[in-house]
Amino acid sequence: MDYARVEDARDKTGLRLALTMGVPGPWSQAAKYIFEYKNIPFIAVGQKGGRDNPELHDWTGHRNAPVAVYQDEAPRVGWYEIIMLAERIAPEPGLVPRTSAARSEMFGLITEIASEGGFAWQRRLRLIDMLYAATDDPKMRQTPDALAARYGHSPDAVDRAEAICADILAMLADRLTAQASRGSEYFVGEAFTAADLYWACFSQLAAPMPEDLNPMPPLLRTTYQAPATLPLDPILIAHRDKMYERHLSLPLDF
């Protein structure tokens, strides 16, 4: 992906989207796909994962990605804010169900996948642990040090993480199984929603797609791959693959 510098993007109009460069960070990938799916043009702005990103912070008040800046509106960083911004800019094709009951189901699923304490949060704690194990070089440990300070990494937190992930994965698999019994291949209702999109992106944290589809750095691939002790129902990966085939572009671009 071609990235603009902050100093070149901040004075532009339209949508500017800060995304993590060089890795398939699931929060950034999901934000990118939301706007791509709706054919909303944007300027991609580079963010360096685990770094201070002073220029981005000076512009948006945030160091992490994604950050969506639309026109002169306040920056949006949370997945809910980003989804709803995209829905406002381009209501069709919709990613959010029309009924309150279906919306609550969809947003609840994404919360379990992408919010603090959820699947990705727990997998990130394990990723930090593996980055520490990969090197004793203080310079190479700067990135895991920064991530550990931000996300509550500790031996106790890592010990709890796998059980939490397993519980969430089992819930997602049960949901898809129940939907299949009703004749649906999607998480909510009968159509593609943001829940399907988010799982497709965040599934990479347990089962990265092959190198030709997800050309991620080798060390990161090792850390993303779920351990054998973390059960991953085949229905979850089959669903992921269908969503990319039908609705999302490949290979991953970051």
Q: What is the CATH number of the domain that holds 115?
A: 1.20.1050
60 and 83 share one domain: yes
Total domains in the fold of the chain: 2
108 and 77 share one domain: no
Note whether 185 and 246 are within 8 A (CB): no
31 and 120 share one domain: no
156 and 41 share one domain: no
- How far is the C-alpha of 154 from the C-alpha of 158, rounded, in Å? 6
Tell me if 95 is assigned to some domain: no
Tell me if 254 is assigned to some domain: no
164-204 pLDDT per residue, tens: 999 999 999 999 999 999 999 999 999 999 999 999 999 99
Tell me if 94 is assigned to some domain: no
Structure confidence at residue 143 (pLDDT)? 79
Domain boundary among 28, 60, 89: 89
Q: Work out the end-to-end distance of the chain between its first and last CA atoms, rounded to an integer number of angstroms.
A: 5
DSSP assignment of 175-239 = HHHHHHHTT--SSSTTS--HHHHHHHHHGGGTSPPPTTT----HHHHHHHSPPTTS---HHHHHH
Structure confidence at residue 113 (pLDDT)? 99
85 and 104 share one domain: no
Structure confidence at residue 139 (pLDDT)? 80
Residue type at position 244: Y
Mean pLDDT of 9-26: 98
Domain boundary among 64, 89, 114: 89
Question: For residue 216, what pLDDT band results from cuts at 50, 70 and 90?
Answer: very high
CB crowding 187-206: b at 16 or more within 10 Å, else e: bbbeebbbbbbbbbbbbbbb
141 and 42 share one domain: no
**3-state SS, residue 65:** coil
37 and 162 share one domain: no
Tell me if 1 is assigned to some domain: no
Structure confidence at residue 134 (pLDDT)? 77
114 and 153 share one domain: yes
Tell me if 132 is assigned to some domain: yes
- Answer whether residue 69 shows pLDDT above 80: yes
Tell me if 29 is assigned to some domain: yes
116 and 207 share one domain: yes
Q: What is the span of the domain harbouring residue 170?
A: 100-247
Question: For residue 142, what pLDDT band results from cuts at 50, 70 and 90?
Answer: confident
Domain boundary among 37, 70, 89: 89
DSSP tag of 74: P
Residue type at position 35: F
59 and 170 share one domain: no
Tell me if 71 is assigned to some domain: yes
226 and 183 share one domain: yes
53 and 104 share one domain: no
- Answer whether residue 157 shows pLDDT above 80: yes
- Answer whether residue 127 shows pLDDT above 90: no
Token digits for 185? Answer: 């291949």
- Answer whether residue 244 shows pLDDT above 80: yes
- Answer whether residue 63 shows pLDDT above 80: yes
Tell me if 45 is assigned to some domain: yes
Structure confidence at residue 136 (pLDDT)? 81
Which pTM value belongs to this model? 0.94
CATH of the domain at 75: 3.40.30.10
